Structure 1
């Protein structure tokens, strides 16, 4: 999205993560932190890149994360944070029962 208030927005897009790469981040975090802080209960999709630009892999990863034979996170504990790309946003709302956060930030106070 090239958001100037986000440091990673200054980097160029190299590629989208695969479904496996997205899920592996949660698996790795669970393994790494389970002994130190207890179990990880929440997942938020945000940061380096707009999740809805990678909607196909994000939805597949969410399905694995909330499935009882997957990582078994509660759907109400999984949130996708977006700048609000409308067509994939509608798809997300139709295909997922996880939470959605829409960022209404801007680089200036102008309307």
Structure 2
């Protein structure tokens, strides 16, 4: 939050690493809305980092990078996920690389 209100001041602030730029006087509703937006962005960033870390830990990247065309068998993958959006994304990742069996019910997979 600053009293500076010129476009050049905004550009300089954002280039210096600011996530947002509010000029005085500050509207309370505008401030709270922007704070909520930044908190949501932080949560999504944390989730993406966690998913990337999990992917590395369970070696999915290595599995996807392998060329299975030269092998006799296609790997089989069991996916248990209740979220349709996740299932669709993962199906695209494994397309033509593995035999993917999908279920939304954990007990059905076993």
- After TM superposition, the score normalised by the length of structure 2 is 0.31
Greater CA radius of gyration, 1 or 2?
Answer: 2
- After TM superposition, the score normalised by the length of structure 1 is 0.31
Looking at both structures, which has the greater relative contact order when contacts are Cα pairs under 8 Å and sequence separation is at least 6?
Answer: 1
